[in-house]
Amino acid sequence: MNYLFLTKTAFFNGLSENEIKTILNCLGAYQKSFKKSEFIYHSGDTVSDMGLVLSGSVNIVVNYYWGSSNIFGHIGQGEIFAETYATIPNKEMLCDVVAAEKTEVLFINVEKVLSVCENQCSFHNRLLRNLLKNSAQKNISLATRMMHTASKFIRDRLLSYFSEQAILNGSNTFTVPFSRQQLADYLGVDRSAMSNELSKMKRDGLIDYQKNDFILISNDF
26 and 117 Cβ atoms separated by less than 8 Å: yes
154 and 170 share one domain: yes
57 and 98 Cβ atoms separated by less than 8 Å: no
138 and 86 share one domain: yes
Tell whether 221 is covered by a domain.
no
Whole-number pLDDT of residue 115: 83
Tell whether 195 is covered by a domain.
yes
pLDDT-above-70 percentage for the chain: 95
Range of the domain at 180: 149-216
Q: What is the pLDDT of residues 3-21, one digit of tens each?
A: 999 999 999 999 999 999 9
Q: What is the pLDDT of residues 104-158, one digit of tens each?
A: 999 999 998 888 666 656 778 888 899 999 889 888 888 998 999 999 999 999 9
**φ and ψ at 220, to 5 degrees?**
-90, 80
Whole-number pLDDT of residue 220: 55
- Residue 178: DSSP 8-state: S
Q: What is the pTM of this model?
A: 0.71
